Structure 1
């Protein structure tokens, strides 16, 4: 990321929209202009402001350039600090604002659809045994605790769980680890099951 972003006066703008679940947060990197670069992810956002979770020493008024996957480069000024990050008031050039807004709306629509899927019923399938693969070398035998069209909770007999955000293969389906459980993990499928294909006989 280039640091050649001039300082600017950020106008007062709207706060970011409601918090998103961890599996729907957008990852990225941010850089204090004239300072260090650090990883971050957006917890909520609008075209006017974004709330970033990051372990970084920033202060209100500092100019920060953020790059979010699927969204792009977002320059702004730190408006205020929160417990685990900060709110960035954005100053997106007019030439890019329409495009960035469209990307944010696309992500919000996708998050809404994912929320609807999360509300779908969970079942305990007849075929519960499953293999969870991280790459091609690490293969873990697991037991499906419950499954929905969009994801599953899986018990694993290992303490070395894939990290949250890791891309794994559950049976024949690709998925992302969204949280750790006391005895395993929860995953979100890259492609949800179609409604007509989902019942107690489902196999992953």
Structure 2
């Protein structure tokens, strides 16, 4: 998705006192009050707020729910409009803010040090993020694909299968390799072809 250059963002005076924003590049999805959903890219974030680029723009004061790679579910209010996106607050408990601060520190250091973090393939946000996961015992559960690559996926779901469990995402055999704040990450048993990837993970 191509975006125009954004203008400089400055946090509010209160936020400057409490939190430091860091530049990050996180993919995800967000939902506006009318329940429309859009893919997005976060360009900077602190435990108290974030700025993202996305095709759907709401109004200042709107409630926004976002699912972000590495971070999980965040919720807040749209605080201002920027070029090709908007800034929003992040509503969280003190414990969640501390965890966000640690995650953002790790993400910032990862980018500076160019750590691979097992990123063998580029991750993308699928056109249709809704899928069904089949567990080892045949139980099916609905999930939301946060992002996707040829070798794995990050999912948001109400329940998290145990680590190392063999599962099927659509018709793709996978293994649970990491638990996230609002879901879990899968590694595909076999690398998937790019031209059939989305059809395979969305198969019911």
Q: TM-score, normalised by structure 1?
A: 0.46
Q: TM-score, normalised by structure 2?
A: 0.46
Bigger Cα Rg = 1
